[in-house]
Amino acid sequence: MVEINLIEIDSNLWEIPKHGNMNVPGRVYSDRELIESIKQDRSLQQVVNVAQLPGIQKYSIAMPDIHWGYGFPIGGVAAFDVENGVISPGGVGYDINCGVRLMKTLLTKDEVVPKIRKLVDELFHTVPCGTGIGGRIKLSTVDFKNIVETGTAWSIERDLGTEDDLDRIEDNGCLTGGEIESISQRAFERGKNQLGTLGSGNHFLEIDYIDAIFNDKYAGEFGLFKNQVCVLIHCGSRGFGHQICTDYVDKMMSYMHRIGLELPDNQLACSHFDTEEARGYLSAFSGAVNYAWTNRQIIMSYTRDVFKKVFGISSDMLGGDLLYDVSHNIAKFEEHEINGEMKTLCVHRKGATRAFPKNHPLVPEIYREVGQPVLIPGDMGRASYVLVGTELAMGETFGTCCHGAGRVLSRKKALKKARGRNIVDELERSGTYVRAKGKRTVSEEMPEAYKDVEKVCDIVHNAGIANKVARLRPMGVVKG
Amino acid sequence: MKYELVDHTADICIRCQAKNLSELFKCAAVALMDLLADRKSIEATEKIEIRIDAYSTEQLLVRWLNELLYYQQTKGIFFKDFDVSIENGTRLNATAYGITYMLGNQEVKEDIKGITYHNLKIKKSKDKLIAEIVIDI
């Protein structure tokens, strides 16, 4: 492994000086302790590789949850000029619009604890999850077209949510420009039976309670209070998005071959914006983004129904409002300041979350006085966080912060560490009741496989790119 | 031919070794199927003929594995064995032997999102060809 030169800028930020074929320097948000663990895999080399892409602006950025991915590191952020820059499907990821949403309730920890097993069991049976498992919704061609073009509105029309939910999703749950003509038949085949399903791996549905409030003002604006029970839902665009990424990485490989563009890693396959490949990808990608939002909306609807059934309460008594839905695998066209001038850039966030500040026009009106909620799920044994975006993030990270804890152990190493142990029992003894389709998944996703999300969130908070609002502790988890 | 799983933080990395390209492609397919199911227990009663062209050998390999993944994910076909022939490094002709399961009736070990190009370079080492393929799960 090649040693990457790192310069400490301050206690939460490092720089990889521009060298070789890099167009910009690299910047890594980390403290001294975490940087040592970051150096153990090839993620810093991936930061260097991304910096070599045409039209990249300011820095190739890495969040403190950075780890080795494919092409872009997980926890990577890169913004491109739309005149001479590129769009890279690998910079978004196969799971287009993998993201997380937080549903609030009016229930407290003390009310939920006595029924946690029943609640989790019911959710496990109601929300389809696991590998190779299809959902209850079978999409017709017309349905698919509507979802691709109008996003989450499709589910609202079917009483799987409310108009208020749309206000609390990035882009109101619909990225415009999705066209079915840009999407392959294979993508439709992979996605038609998977709407309303959780998937497997690191996807989950988690029941939490808030055990700490760090900022009373922001918590109040977000409607969060101590001991409040909330639900985190983490999943993405399923096989539909995966196939779209596969299709367009292939097309862009052919594009790069035609124009003779060479990159340090072919998984960075990209094309300039004014090309058929880019236009096709952006259209198909929009469809996948909309599918993923619709997916999370439907799962939240199922969750609301289960809560009402288990507790015998009405919607008003449940108060199952959506706090916010954030995407952490996405590319967005946004206005950012470059050398004193506002420019339209295409910001790629791969395992990174938008974190816009107060007064930003893209922050929902209900939160505009404080800033955008940022949701950072940790592992299923420790904690997750709600933060809020800051003005500093706009200048430093294109309005972005981390997305989770970040893996430290490979799945192979996690399985080895879990040998001879019953991770489900261990989690239950520590207060988290887990129902999972695959025993192996639980071991692969054990808490020790991840960085401590508290440390990751402290770094972004101390760096000033997002501020902590509340901490959630897990009570129950559903996994595929 | 043989393969092994190489450590990767978030995904799966397979290192395949074989004496020629045809065997390397077969090896990668076998490794992929072993990730998905108990391949050795499959009773192969069907066969599919597959032909793929590509700009480069690496693109051909990714297209080949994605093709097999497509059959598994959409048609429930799990493959046990393969006859593979590579021409000029950019054309594949193959017969894949397997069986169709009703979707949901066969345990799928991994939910594979895609076959990546990350660090994919088919290299010659002594008398062997080696490729490392990172798979997103």
ipTM of the complex model: 0.94
Taking an 8 Å cut-off on Cβ atoms, the answer to whether A201 and B111 are in contact is yes
Distance from CA of A467 to the nearest CA of B (A): 27
pLDDT on residue B106 = 62
B63, B73, B108 member nearest A190 (Cβ): B73
Average pLDDT rounded to a whole number, residues B4-15: 87
pLDDT on residue A208 = 98
Q: Is B51 on the interface with A (CB under 8 A)?
A: no
End-to-end CA distance of chain A: 34
Residue A155's CB is within 10 A of a number of other CB atoms, namely: 25
CB–CB of B122/B129 below 8 Å?
A: yes
Angle, helices A116-126 vs A276-311, to 10°: value is 140
pLDDT on residue A412 = 87
Q: Is A95 on the interface with B (CB under 8 A)?
A: yes
Catalytic residue among A272, A328, A403, A461: A403
Q: Is A94 on the interface with B (CB under 8 A)?
A: yes
Taking an 8 Å cut-off on Cβ atoms, the answer to whether A242 and B10 are in contact is no
Distance from CA of B120 to the nearest CA of A (A): 8
SS3 label, residue B33? helix
Taking an 8 Å cut-off on Cβ atoms, the answer to whether B74 and A190 are in contact is yes
CB–CB of B120/B62 below 8 Å?
A: yes
SS3 label, residue B137? coil
pLDDT on residue A302 = 98
Q: Could you write out the three-class secondary structure of chain A?
A: CCCCCCEEEECCEEEECCCCCCCCCEEEECCHHHHHHHCCCCHHHHHHHHCCCCCECCCEEEEEEEEEEECEEEEEEEEEECCCCEECHHHCCCCCCCEEEEEEEEEEHHHHHHHHHHHHHHHHHHCCCCCCCCCCCCCCHHHHHHHHHHCCHHHHCCCCCCHHHHHCEHHHHCCCCCCHHHCCHHHHHHHCCCCCCCCCCCCEEEEEEEEEECCHHHHHHHCCCCCEEEEEEEECCHHHHHHHHHHHHHHHHHHHHHHCCCCCCHHHCCEECCCHHHHHHHHHHHHHHHHHHHHHHHHHHHHHHHHHHHHCCCHHHHCCCEEEEEECEEEEEEEEEECCEEEEEEEEEECCEECCECCCCCCCHHHCCCECEEEECCCCCCCEEEEEECHHHHHHHCCEECCCCCECCCHHHHHHHHCCCCHHHHHHHCCCEEEECCHHHHHHCCHHHECCHHHHHHHHHHHCCEEEEEEEEEEEEEEC
Which uninterrupted H or E stretch holds B28?
helix B21-36
Q: Which of A186, A198, A185 is nearest to A132 (CA)?
A: A198
> Is A403 an annotated catalytic residue?
yes
SS3 label, residue B124? strand
Q: Is residue B130 scored above 70 in pLDDT?
A: yes
Chain B nearest-CA residue for A74: B10
A133, A201, A412 member nearest B7 (Cβ): A412
Residues of B in contact with A411 (CB under 8 A): 12, 137
- Which of the residues in chain A have pLDDT under 50? none
Taking an 8 Å cut-off on Cβ atoms, the answer to whether B116 and A201 are in contact is no
Chain B interface, best mutation among A88, A266, A403, A444, by max B CB count within 10 A: A266
CB–CB of A342/A391 below 8 Å?
A: no
Distance from CA of B119 to the nearest CA of A (A): 6
Q: Is B108 on the interface with A (CB under 8 A)?
A: yes
Average pLDDT rounded to a whole number, residues B22-46: 93
Phi, psi of A229 (to 5 degrees): -90, 130
Residue A23's CB is within 10 A of a number of other CB atoms, namely: 15
Q: Is A254 on the interface with B (CB under 8 A)?
A: yes
SS3 label, residue B20? coil
Chain B interface, best mutation among A410, A412, A417, by max B CB count within 10 A: A410
CB–CB of A63/A29 below 8 Å?
A: yes
Task: For residue B107, give the DSSP letter.
Answer: -
pLDDT confidence bin for B104, thresholds 50/70/90: low
Q: Which of B119, B109, B36, B34 is nearest to B70 (CA)?
A: B36
Q: Report how far apart, in Å, the C-alpha atoms of B21 and of each of A147, A479, B65, B107 are.
A: 42, 39, 14, 31
Residues of A in contact with B11 (CB under 8 A): 69-70
Chain B nearest-CA residue for A237: B113
Whole-number percent of chain B with pLDDT over 90: 74
pLDDT on residue B103 = 53
Q: Is residue B88 scored above 80 in pLDDT?
A: yes
pLDDT on residue B87 = 97
pTM: 0.96
pLDDT on residue A431 = 95
Whole-angstrom distance, CA of residue A97 vs CA of residue B123: 35
The per-residue pLDDT for range A234-252, each reduced to its tens digit, is: 999 999 999 999 999 999 9
CB–CB of A399/A389 below 8 Å?
A: yes
pLDDT on residue A207 = 98
User: Is residue A305 exposed (0-12), middle (13-18) or buried (19+ Cβ within 10 Å)?
Assistant: middle
Taking an 8 Å cut-off on Cβ atoms, the answer to whether B118 and A249 are in contact is no
Q: Is B49 on the interface with A (CB under 8 A)?
A: no
The per-residue pLDDT for range B108-124, each reduced to its tens digit, is: 888 899 999 998 999 99
Distance from CA of B75 to the nearest CA of A (A): 9
Taking an 8 Å cut-off on Cβ atoms, the answer to whether B104 and A134 are in contact is yes
